[in-house]
A and B are shown apart, each in its own frame.
Chain A
Amino acid sequence: MKSSSLNPIIVKELRERFRSKKTVWTLALFLLIMGGIPLGFLIVNPIKAGSLGQNKDLFVISAALHYAMICFVAPALTAGAVSGERERQTLNILLTTQLSPRTIIWSKLFTSLAFTSLLVIASMPLYSIVMLYGSVSPEQLLTLALFFGVNIMFLGSLGLFCSTWIKRTAVSTIIAYGIAFFFVVVTGLLFLFLGEILIQLTPDRSLQQEVWGRPELQYLAGINPVIVLFAILGETVLPTIRFDFTPWLFFSCFYLVLSILLVLWSAYLLRPIRRKWWSWKK
């Protein structure tokens, strides 16, 4: 065995992960689902010369499926990262080494993100089938990849935070999914309900559609991944929103900042002796 100068947690986690049969099965199942659906679509809608460049449905289905899989996999991979160490009773030993809590958290996040990214990258060639149908620009594909990246980062950080905050992996996984549900579904519903309430409160019928353009509703829509995903795909799921900003850019900034805060908070929670800033003295 050759010793590595890389971060020891990353080396250990990757070693453990890729020696596990579960990893191979996860990857196989992911590709089966991601490949099976476009294949089924191909069978139902054979490519016709006349419809080339016209059919965007496959792209929308693939992207939505990809996003759903990320929502399912990313929190699960990190929700046991720290609580798992605690349950195995290896966390205390780890905390008596020279690895700082921040290094431990970043390393755990990195290895989990690496695996989720592997899943996404491994399934990217499936988009070549989408390309057969056309109607997708390379820019759209790149924005979609960035959108997935931000989601992986955020959901991974969320799972990691829950894992540090809550002692048991099962509970931490449930809470991570619960919070993810809030961001993915509840923010969308809030946007819809608030918009409808504001419409009801607007007596002038001609101004009712202006409600959807209000800045607070735009911001709410801008943090909802489903609305932003469909904006990237050029589709609409909810009432048409006129964004005064680029939705994916706002979305990316918001969730990247939130991810960094969650990671820093996790590192703080992991510290065995938490020094409060007002009690700091040498």
Chain B
Amino acid sequence: MIETIHLSKSYGKVQALIDLQLRIEQGKVFGFIGPNGAGKSTTMMILSTLLEPTEGEAFVCGYDVRKEPAEVRQSLGYMPDFFGVYDNLTAVEYLDFYAGAFKIAPHKRSSLIADLLELVNLSDKAEAYVDSLSRGMQQRLSLARCLIHDPQVLILDEPASGLDPRARIELREILKQLRCMGKTILISSHILPELAELCDDIGIIEKGRLIACGGLDEVSIRARGVTLMMVKTLRNHHRAALILAENMFVEDLEENMDGFRFRFIGSDHQKAELLQKLIEAEVAVSYFGESSENLEAVFLAITEGVAGR
């Protein structure tokens, strides 16, 4: 559905993207992770026909982004990281404008717009002016705008940035619905744990290079023997702190109110031994497992070497 072959982009002497090889199958949700300036938006803009690659090729639904831009645009919905607002337009008029821009017949538009507003839970805001909507609502409206021409591919550049937790959850639920509808989604985010739940595959990009790509488990540093762990205790907190600090497989130990967060570089067997030690020391362990921020650990561990290059 999305394929890039030796894709590179440079701005003068600055290489924004280097030899990107990517293949996303139909119906998959692919998470693109990387710090600012890593090349995520550049890739997305090339795929959306907004930037010309310096080298290589890119295909969306089999169409070449360079040679068949009109077909590519018809096949994808692009959502940039910032929601641009038109003054004095209601949500319905906003969607109607884009429906017209995709040459959708006028008689089909009203029912289509009503369905889309329902999908993004904005039916009650149909007649509200776009600039009066909250950031979360604007992002959802933007998502509805992406879907106006029923594209097979969605390219979402940091859709959750700047949203409060509730708005993030709402957006994530809509994205899950879209995944169920069989849409192929390329999504980038800084909020890494969000992608863990949503994505089938992830790609980690740093300084223009794709440094890891595949299923979450595949990419996870569990395979490399590193896990971001969390231990919560009810009793004997200080004794637990001592055991953890002395354990040779524990790194970057952080102590919280009710527990600990650390990087564990040992195997599952060594993890079990650590738990046993804690129990033998009569520490009341209420939680012993991977941290919900594990994807962040994946990212940090993988990019650690690249950042130093």
Q: Using known A-B contacts A3-B109, A272-B49, determine if residue A98 contacts B73 with beta carbons closer than 8 Å.
A: yes
B100 within 8 A of A: yes
Option from B66, B84, B98 in Cβ contact (under 8 Å) with A273: B66
Residues on A with beta carbons closer than 8 Å to the beta carbon of B101: 8-9, 94, 97-99
A16 touches B92 (CB 8 A): no
CB-nearest residue of chain B to A12? B97
Tell me the residues in window 36-86 of chain B with beta carbons closer than 8 Å to chain A beta carbons. 45, 48-52, 66-67, 69-70, 73-74, 76, 78, 80, 82-86
B89 within 8 A of A: yes
Option from A19, A93, A273, A282 in Cβ contact (under 8 Å) with B88: A19
A15 touches B88 (CB 8 A): yes
A88 touches B49 (CB 8 A): no
A4 touches B106 (CB 8 A): yes
Q: Complex: how many Å from CA A171 to CA B73?
A: 31
Q: Using known A-B contacts A3-B109, A11-B97, determine if residue A89 contacts B88 with beta carbons closer than 8 Å.
A: no
- Digitize B143-174: 1 where CB-to-A-CB distance is under 8 Å, 0 elsewhere: 00100010000000000000000000000000
B88 touches A92 (CB 8 A): no
B90 within 8 A of A: yes
- Digitize A249-274: 1 where CB-to-B-CB distance is under 8 Å, 0 elsewhere: 00000000000000000000000111
B66 touches A1 (CB 8 A): no
B86 touches A16 (CB 8 A): yes
> Chain B interface residue count: which class?
35 or more
B269 within 8 A of A: no
Q: Complex: how many Å from CA A98 to CA B74?
A: 7
Tell me the residues in window 113-170 of chain A with beta carbons closer than 8 Å to chain B beta carbons. none
Q: Complex: how many Å from CA A7 to CA B100?
A: 7
A96 within 8 A of B: yes
Q: Complex: how many Å from CA A93 to CA B79?
A: 7
B70 touches A3 (CB 8 A): no
Instruction: Classify the interface of chain A: helix, strand, loop or mixed.
Output: loop
A273 touches B49 (CB 8 A): yes
> Chain A interface residue count: which class?
20 to 34
A89 touches B89 (CB 8 A): no
- Digitize A45-59: 1 where CB-to-B-CB distance is under 8 Å, 0 elsewhere: 000000000000000
Q: Using known A-B contacts A89-B84, A92-B80, A97-B101, determine if residue A15 contacts B93 with beta carbons closer than 8 Å.
A: yes
A93 touches B80 (CB 8 A): yes
B287 within 8 A of A: no
B96 within 8 A of A: yes
Q: Using known A-B contacts A96-B49, A96-B73, determine if residue A90 contacts B98 with beta carbons closer than 8 Å.
A: no
B236 within 8 A of A: no
A206 within 8 A of B: no
Option from A9, A12, A20 in Cβ contact (under 8 Å) with B93: A12
Residues on A with beta carbons closer than 8 Å to the beta carbon of B66: 273
B93 touches A272 (CB 8 A): no
B84 touches A90 (CB 8 A): yes
The distance from the CB of A239 to the nearest CB of chain B, in whole angstroms, is: 50
Option from A2, A12, A98 in Cβ contact (under 8 Å) with B86: A12
Q: Complex: how many Å from CA A231 to CA B107?
A: 53
A273 touches B74 (CB 8 A): no
B80 touches A3 (CB 8 A): no
Q: Complex: how many Å from CA A239 to CA B209?
A: 69
Tell me the residues in window 60-105 of chain A with beta carbons closer than 8 Å to chain B beta carbons. 85, 88-99
B87 within 8 A of A: yes
Q: Complex: how many Å from CA A272 to CA B84?
A: 18
The distance from the CB of A85 to the nearest CB of chain B, in whole angstroms, is: 8
The distance from the CB of A268 to the nearest CB of chain B, in whole angstroms, is: 14
B13 within 8 A of A: no
B50 touches A88 (CB 8 A): no
Residues on A with beta carbons closer than 8 Å to the beta carbon of B90: 1
Option from B48, B82, B88, B96 in Cβ contact (under 8 Å) with A3: B96
B110 touches A96 (CB 8 A): no
The distance from the CB of B105 to the nearest CB of chain A, in whole angstroms, is: 8
Q: Complex: how many Å from CA A97 to CA B69?
A: 10
B89 touches A96 (CB 8 A): no
CB-nearest residue of chain A to B108? A3
Residues on B with beta carbons closer than 8 Å to the beta carbon of A4: 100, 106
Residues on A with beta carbons closer than 8 Å to the beta carbon of B309: none
A93 touches B84 (CB 8 A): yes
Residues on B with beta carbons closer than 8 Å to the beta carbon of A89: 80, 82-84
CB-nearest residue of chain B to A16? B88
B70 touches A273 (CB 8 A): no
Residues on B with beta carbons closer than 8 Å to the beta carbon of A94: 101
- 5 closest pairs, A vs B, by CB? A8-B100, A90-B84, A97-B101, A3-B106, A89-B84
| Cross-chain pairs A/B with CB under 8 angstroms, 18 sampled | A1-B90, A1-B96, A3-B106, A5-B105, A8-B96, A12-B86, A12-B89, A12-B97, A16-B87, A19-B88, A89-B80, A89-B82, A90-B86, A92-B50, A96-B73, A98-B73, A98-B74, A272-B50
* Residues in chain A within 8 A of chain B (CB atoms): 1-5, 7-9, 11-12, 15-16, 19-20, 85, 88-99, 272-274, 282
